[in-house]
Chain A
Amino acid sequence: MKKFIDDPNSLLDTSLQGFAKAHADILELNLEPHFVYRKQRKSGKVALISGGGSGHEPLHSGFVGFGMLDAACPGQVFTSPTPDQMMAAAEAVDGGAGVLFIVKNYAGDVMNFEMAGEMLALPNASVLVNDDISLPKSHSIGRRGVAGTTIVEKIVGAAAEAGADLASCKALGERVNQATASLGVALTSCTVPALGHPTFALAEDEMEYGVGIHGERGRETVKLAGASEIVAQLAEHIADELQIGTGQHALLHVNGFGATPLIELHSIYELAWQQFNRRGLNIQRSLVGNFTTSLDMAGCSLTLTLLDDEMLAYWDAPVNTAALRWGC
Chain B
Amino acid sequence: MTDLLYSEVEEELRASVRSLLDDRVDLSRLEGPEPVDLKLWRTLAADLGFAGLPVPESAGGAGASWRETAVVMEELGRSLAPVPFLGTSVLATAALLGTEDPLLDALAAGRRTATLAVPLSATDPRWTVTAADGVLDGTITSVVDAGTADVLLVPTAAGLFAVEAADTVRTPVVSFDLSRPLTDVTLGSAPGRLVGDAGPLVARALTAGAALLASEQLGIAEWCLTTTVEYVKTRRQFARQVGSYQAIKHRLADLWVSVTQARAVARYAADCLATDDPDLPVAASLAQAFCSPVAMKAAEECVQLHGGIGFTWEHPAHLYLKRARSNAASFGSATRHRALLAALVDLPA
Answer yes or no: do A and B interact. Answer: no
Which residues in A have some Cβ–Cβ distance to B below 8 Å?
A: none
